[in-house]
Amino acid sequence: MQQDIDPNTFTQKDLMQHLLQASQHAVTREEMIAQFRQAEQQNKERFEQVEKRFEQVEKRFEQVDKRFEQVEKRFEQVDKRFEQAEQQNKERFEQAEQQNKERFAQVDKQLERQHQALMEMGQDIKDVHQEIKHQMRWNLGILVSVGGLVLGILKFTGT
């Protein structure tokens, strides 16, 4: 915007324009200094806000860490409970298995006794059957003998 000014033809008007431009630049410098100061203040405030925010975030992280520790402790308690429940269940199953073994052993003994009793009854039945056979043979023998005697008597007597 500034024209080439010839120093030999420097007029009062040129001087006024030069002073006006210089004063405008001076005002701009003062404004820039004020703006820089204002920008520095704003930056300082923003940095302070950021630092506060970082502190808040750090506190929040500490709270989250504490919460995680609490959750971890809770999981440990739950794990212990599961382990206890698992141990109790294992013991109960072992007891039930032992009781079942004992009961099956008792049932086996009882069935064995009943089997033995049935075998003895079967033998008794065979003995009774054999005795009945002998009795029937004896009765048949007696009947034949008595019948023979009756026929012999009837023959002798002539009737």
Contact between residue 42 and residue 61 where contact means Cβ atoms under 8 Å apart: no
- The predicted pLDDT at position 1 comes to 46
**pLDDT digits (tens), the chain, 159 positions:** 455 656 667 787 887 888 778 777 665 667 778 888 998 999 999 999 999 999 999 999 999 999 999 999 999 999 999 999 999 999 999 999 999 999 999 999 999 999 999 999 989 999 999 999 999 999 999 989 998 888 888 888 876
Cα 105–Cα 110–Cα 111 angle in degrees, nearest 5: 95
Q: What is the pLDDT of residues 116-138, one digit of tens each?
A: 999 999 899 999 999 999 999 99
Q: What is the pLDDT of residue 84?
A: 95
Ranges of each domain in the chain: 20-119
pLDDT, residue 26, reads 61
| DSSP output for 7-46 | GGG--HHHHHHHHHHHHHHHHHHHHHHHHHHHHHHHHHHH
What is the CB neighbour count within 10 angstroms for residue 66? Answer: 10
Phi first, then psi: give them for residue 142, nearest 5 degrees. -65, -45
Res 128: pLDDT? 92
Question: What's the whole-model pTM score?
Answer: 0.41
Looking at residue 2, what is its pLDDT? Answer: 52
pLDDT per residue as tens digits for the range 12-34: 788 788 877 877 766 566 777 88
The pair of three-digit structure tokens given for residue 24, joined into one six-digit string? 């405008």
